[in-house]
Chains A and B, each alone.
Chain A
Amino acid sequence: MGKASLEVAQQHATGPAGPGGAGTPAQDMARVREIISRLRDRPAPLLPILQAIQKEMGWISEEAMVEVAEALGIHPSQVYGVTTFYTLFATRPKGKHVIRVCASAPCHVPGAGAVLEALKKALGVEVGETTPDGKFTLELTSCIGVCGVAPAIMIDDRVYGNLKPADIGAILARY
């Protein structure tokens, strides 16, 4: 093994994927309504509400988007447009851990492609898919700001850099 892979703790807006659909549908919607009532009076409340739903529920369901639209007096096509614009919002439940492979040029050049192939092989899924055991979801992301240690990936809010395909097994084994 070459240079040790770098591990960086990093905060980001969404936190780890939460326990999506943990309650009954009625309980989930009650939580959504509670989030809306807590944040709806903020200026420009749409993003804070979506962020809170993502953080607390792990994903944003169609029912939740319709609820948000009705509460804010906008149309579901607009809420859906915003939700799908930001890659950190999930419109489907995800695995327990979300792996994001940086697809920007500084990671692409030193070998992000090979790292991605190793991840696909180890997990047995394509980009956008979740492993059958519900443990991992594999995604691409644009630059995560650690170009100095390219190629890099994030697993939940943890960053791994200077990666080679051979590092993947040991990293996945931690989860």
Chain B
Amino acid sequence: MAKVTLTIDGRKVEAERGMTVLEAARLAGINIPTLCYLENLNAIGACRVCVVEVKGAKTLQASCVLPVADGMEVWTNSPAVRASRRTTVELLLSDHPTECTTCIRNGTCELQALAEALGIRRVRFQGEKHGGVPDQSSPSIVRDNAKCVLCRRCVAVCEKVQSVKAIGPQERGFATAIAPPFDLPLADSVCVNCGQCTLVCPTGALHERDDTELVWAALADPRKHVVVQTAPATRVTVGEMFGMPPGSVVTGKMVAALRRLGFDRVFDTDFTADLTIVEEGYELVHRLQEGGVLPMITSCSPGWIKFIETFFPDMLPNLSTCKSPQQMFGALAKTYYARKVGIDPADIFVVSIMPCTAKKFEARRPEMTASGYPDIDAVLTTRELGRMLKEAGVAFDALPEEPYDEPLGVSTGAGAIFGATGGVMEAALRTAYEVVTGKTLPSLDFESVRGMEGIKEATVDLDGTQIRVAVAHTLGNARRVLEAVRADPGRYHFIEIMACPGGCIGGGGQPIPTTDEIRRKRIEAIYRVDRDMPIRKSHENPVIKVLYQEFLGEPNSHKAHELLHTHYQPRYQYATL
């Protein structure tokens, strides 16, 4: 790469040709404030917060879209730059509800942080405000255009990362709104509820639906036996809500914290992740041996499920019929567990702690009531759990580490890695290998399916049978894999898809900020959890064995199918038309 030398704030800075001034400045340790900019995804010069003064230029330039040039002289902190930034942010604030103290993003809002950083103490402008009523149609995501600053980061992630394009800029000028087409409510749009938009939204314009009140009410109801399950990815992220560094493993503290909130039993989604592996592993072996539909594709990620229903309905037979671990847990809590403890399932209230906004949608699906009761009664994201714990005054850092309750809290390392891209595949391979070959795996670590690469491929030797597998994370990569399968149906035997970048550790319900660097740290933590578990293969989970003996019979039995499997329906992209 050719190098150029430019001067930023009087310092000589070397940069690669093709870089922007913003990138060159950051490399040199000079932090230019931004608002609409999102690394690798959104550099559109829209918000004008990142303006800089360039010698010889008539006007201030947006540094996020300004390429470096040899000999360029840039000032990032001149009086003209500061005055312009201040005016820009004041104008944004003049059309923003200043309800910071009651906003869901209080403390994590980038507009708030920017106003603070620029020392804005009053807004000189008064004018028309957008106002309007938030769109609360979706079970997962609330869209509040009154707080939108039109940065288009949500549009970029929805289009470029997820290839969903549920929302875009509509109308023009002051009337511009980021919305689904045709004034559709979000619930009737093609939105798959992944919540990646809520991670990149700088303000409270897009956020998770808050279901904490439902859970507080259940906890306060003496007739309810309230049980909670924690998704694999939450044990490596909830600490971030309390200022712990990304990658902190807080499994035991989270269990203790949930007990402090008053849950009657603290169980683990990792347990039903193990169960999913056994059910899905046998389903895969059955399909391979009996000529079933291949490739088989995993079905744990509810954003992915709505995506395939909407955009690739012809490929629904490729989906594993297994419910997700969340739903399997609920189905068992209200049958097997209810019977075991002698509690009427009508009195059992099942809460999930999930890294995911789409899990809220999944829990409400009409398919998910096989026991005669809804599998799941309330879903909280990692962020909502963090807020509940703060409200309850739980001193998270100081908590002791406590173990999960039995029986539904017993799990293996294979269940834990469900939280990262490649983890379901790796867990499945550990079980499928031993089930098919009857041998013990020489090494449990399938490195080729780990990591942040968008689409990973591997061939696994199951005692002479070559199984071709693929792992994709983000729905854009899922789309690429499905198109490859359409072109060449024999290309793979088994595919894992997770809707969110990095898998569930990067889910739409995770702490803010969630960046690629933070995702990597969380993934490392997940594999540390796996490494430190005494048992690392799902089929060796002792409680899973007991569950089959006492209740389910055998994998893929009639009862297992009734409670733990389901089918999905094609969706029209625009049901209202």
CB pairs A–B below 8 angstroms (25 shown): A62-B181, A62-B574, A62-B577, A63-B577, A65-B181, A65-B182, A66-B574, A66-B577, A75-B165, A76-B181, A76-B182, A76-B573, A76-B574, A77-B165, A77-B166, A77-B167, A77-B168, A77-B170, A77-B181, A78-B165, A79-B181, A80-B168, A81-B169, A84-B170, A85-B169
Q: B303 at the A/B interface (Cβ < 8 Å)?
A: no
Chain B residues whose CB sits within 8 angstroms of the CB of A62 once the complex forms? 181-182, 574, 577
Cβ < 8 Å to B, chain A residues 13-68: 62-63, 65-66
| Closest B residue, CB atoms, query A79 | B181
- The list of the 6 closest CB pairs from A to B, nearest first, reads A80-B181, A75-B165, A77-B168, A77-B181, A81-B168, A85-B172
The answer for the CA separation of A125 and B172 in the assembled complex, in Å, is: 23
Contact with B along A79-98 (1 / 0, CB 8 A): 11100111100000000000
The answer for the CA separation of A76 and B169 in the assembled complex, in Å, is: 12
The answer for the CA separation of A63 and B572 in the assembled complex, in Å, is: 13
Contact with A along B157-170 (1 / 0, CB 8 A): 00000000111111
Given A75-B165, A77-B170, 4 extra CB contacts under 8 A: A76-B182, A76-B573, A77-B180, A87-B172
Q: Distance (Å) between the CB of B432 and the closest chain A CB?
A: 38
Size bracket, chain A contacts: 10 to 19
Q: B171 at the A/B interface (Cβ < 8 Å)?
A: yes
Cβ B165 vs Cβ A84 within 8 A: no
Q: Distance (Å) between the CB of B182 and the closest chain A CB?
A: 5
Chain B residues whose CB sits within 8 angstroms of the CB of A63 once the complex forms? 577
Q: Distance (Å) between the CB of B229 and the closest chain A CB?
A: 35
Chain B residues whose CB sits within 8 angstroms of the CB of A77 once the complex forms? 165-168, 170, 180-181, 189
The answer for the CA separation of A63 and B182 in the assembled complex, in Å, is: 10
Cβ < 8 Å to A, chain B residues 116-170: 165-170
| Closest A residue, CB atoms, query B180 | A77
Q: Distance (Å) between the CB of A28 and the closest chain B CB?
A: 14
The answer for the CA separation of A65 and B577 in the assembled complex, in Å, is: 11
| Closest B residue, CB atoms, query A61 | B577
The answer for the CA separation of A86 and B319 in the assembled complex, in Å, is: 42
Cβ B167 vs Cβ A84 within 8 A: no
B contact face: mostly helix, strand, loop, or mixed: loop
| Closest B residue, CB atoms, query A142 | B173
Contact with A along B41-76 (1 / 0, CB 8 A): 000000000000000000000000000000000000
Chain B residues whose CB sits within 8 angstroms of the CB of A78 once the complex forms? 165, 168
* With contact pairs A65-B181, A66-B577, A76-B181 given, residues A84 and B166 touching in the complex (Cβ less than 8 Å): no
Chain B residues whose CB sits within 8 angstroms of the CB of A80 once the complex forms? 168, 170, 181-182
| Closest B residue, CB atoms, query A81 | B168
Q: Distance (Å) between the CB of B191 and the closest chain A CB?
A: 10
The answer for the CA separation of A62 and B165 in the assembled complex, in Å, is: 17
Q: Distance (Å) between the CB of A69 and the closest chain B CB?
A: 9
| Closest B residue, CB atoms, query A76 | B181
The answer for the CA separation of A94 and B171 in the assembled complex, in Å, is: 18
Cβ A84 vs Cβ B168 within 8 A: no
Cβ A81 vs Cβ B165 within 8 A: no
Chain B residues whose CB sits within 8 angstroms of the CB of A65 once the complex forms? 181-182
Which of A63, A85, A87 has most chain B Cβ within 10 Å?
A85
Chain A residues whose CB sits within 8 angstroms of the CB of B170 once the complex forms? 77, 80-81, 84
Chain A residues whose CB sits within 8 angstroms of the CB of B180 once the complex forms? 77
| Closest B residue, CB atoms, query A80 | B181
The answer for the CA separation of A84 and B166 in the assembled complex, in Å, is: 16
Q: Which among B171, B189, B573, B577 is the interface contact of A84 at CB below 8 angstroms?
A: B171
Chain B residues whose CB sits within 8 angstroms of the CB of A79 once the complex forms? 181
Chain B residues whose CB sits within 8 angstroms of the CB of A85 once the complex forms? 169, 171-172
Cβ < 8 Å to A, chain B residues 171-186: 171-172, 180-182
Cβ A81 vs Cβ B181 within 8 A: yes
The answer for the CA separation of A75 and B573 in the assembled complex, in Å, is: 10
The answer for the CA separation of A85 and B176 in the assembled complex, in Å, is: 8
Q: Distance (Å) between the CB of A72 and the closest chain B CB?
A: 13
Q: Distance (Å) between the CB of B310 and the closest chain A CB?
A: 11
| Closest A residue, CB atoms, query B168 | A77
Chain A residues whose CB sits within 8 angstroms of the CB of B190 once the complex forms? 75
The answer for the CA separation of A76 and B168 in the assembled complex, in Å, is: 10
Chain B residues whose CB sits within 8 angstroms of the CB of A87 once the complex forms? 172
| Closest B residue, CB atoms, query A63 | B577
Q: Distance (Å) between the CB of A42 and the closest chain B CB?
A: 23
The answer for the CA separation of A80 and B573 in the assembled complex, in Å, is: 15
Cβ < 8 Å to A, chain B residues 504-552: none
Chain B residues whose CB sits within 8 angstroms of the CB of A84 once the complex forms? 170-172
The answer for the CA separation of A118 and B173 in the assembled complex, in Å, is: 26
Chain A residues whose CB sits within 8 angstroms of the CB of B165 once the complex forms? 75, 77-78
The answer for the CA separation of A93 and B169 in the assembled complex, in Å, is: 22
The answer for the CA separation of A26 and B180 in the assembled complex, in Å, is: 26
Chain B residues whose CB sits within 8 angstroms of the CB of A81 once the complex forms? 168-170, 181
The answer for the CA separation of A65 and B170 in the assembled complex, in Å, is: 13
Q: Distance (Å) between the CB of B295 and the closest chain A CB?
A: 25
